[in-house]
Amino acid sequence: MTDDMTETTLRAAPQTEAVEYARRLAARTMRAWSLIDREELVTAIVAELVANAVRHAGTALELRLLRGSGRVRVEVRDRATQMPRLTVPGPLDESHRGLFIVDRFASSWGAEPVSGGKVVWAEVST
pLDDT, tens digit, 9 for 90 and up, residues 10-35: 999 999 999 999 999 999 999 999 99
The answer as to whether 82 is a domain residue is yes
pLDDT digits (tens, 9 = 90+) for 60-111: 999 999 999 999 999 999 999 999 888 776 776 666 677 888 999 999 999 9
What pLDDT is stored for residue 96 in this prediction?
A: 62
What is the domain extent for residue 36?
13-125
The answer as to whether 121 is a domain residue is yes
pLDDT at residue 36 tops 70: yes
CA 50, 18, 80, 78 dihedral sign is positive
What pLDDT is stored for residue 1 in this prediction?
A: 40
Total domains in the fold of the chain: 1
CB distance 35 to 126 below 8 Å: yes
Separation CA 43–CA 30 (nearest Å): 9
What pLDDT is stored for residue 89 in this prediction?
A: 67
> What CATH number is associated with residue 54?
3.30.565.10
Identity of the residue numbered 60: A
